[in-house]
């Protein structure tokens, strides 16, 4: 069974860049059938889709974050990554990575990682 695991700094200073990596195990990330997403959830609030990447390199981003987001994939390491620039306190959230297939957008999820933006 596929498993996803987020990793990266838990604390980022305002105006800096948040960087997270999702490592996929139990299956190859390099399948044309799947795509790989990032979703976030501020404490006590709902879920917000950040964006996704196909292993072809094609991406879709949420317009609300598009100017600050970059998602990339490293098939040799079975990983994909998120960079979110110019962060503020409003970017403090639990960040999840997830796998999608067709219209089943999020069938497997990582456990989530809390990122706090604070000086």
Partner 1 sequence: DIQMTQSPSSLSASVGDRVTITCRASQSISSYLNWYQQKPGKAPKLLIYLASSLQSGVPSTFSGSGSGTDFTLTITSLQPEDFATYYCQQSFSTPLTFGGGTKVEIK
Residues found near partner 1 in the complex (CB under 8 A): 37, 46-49, 60-64, 96, 103-107, 109-112
Q: Which residues pair with 79 in a beta bridge?
A: 23, 74
Q: How far is the CB of 66 from partner 1 (least distance, A)?
A: 9
Nearest to partner 1 of 88, 103 (CB atom): 103
* Under 8 Å between Cβ of 78 and 29: yes
Nearest to partner 1 of 15, 101 (CB atom): 101
Q: How far is the CB of 10 from partner 1 (least distance, A)?
A: 15
Q: How far apart are CA 23 and CA 77, in angstroms?
A: 8
Q: How far is the CB of 2 from partner 1 (least distance, A)?
A: 13
Tokens for 90, please give them.
Answer: 């409003």
Task: State the Cα angle at 51 between 48 and 56, rounded to 5°.
Answer: 160
Strands 59-61 and 93-101: unpaired
Nearest to partner 1 of 44, 90 (CB atom): 44
Q: How far is the CB of 33 from partner 1 (least distance, A)?
A: 15
């Amino acid at each position: 069974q596929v498993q996803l695991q987020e990793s990266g700094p838990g604390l980022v200073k305002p105006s800096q860049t948040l960087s997270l990596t999702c490592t996929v195990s139990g299956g190859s990330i390099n399948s044309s059938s799947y795509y790989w997403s990032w979703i976030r959830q501020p404490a006590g609030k709902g879920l917000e889709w950040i964006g996704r990447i196909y292993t072809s390199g094609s991406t879709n981003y949420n317009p609300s974050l598009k100017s600050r987001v970059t998602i990339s994939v490293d098939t040799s390491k079975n990983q994909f990554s998120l960079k979110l620039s110019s962060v503020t306190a409003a970017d403090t959230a639990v960040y999840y990575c997830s796998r999608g297939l067709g219209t089943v957008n999020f069938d497997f999820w990582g456990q989530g990682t809390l990122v706090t933006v604070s000086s």
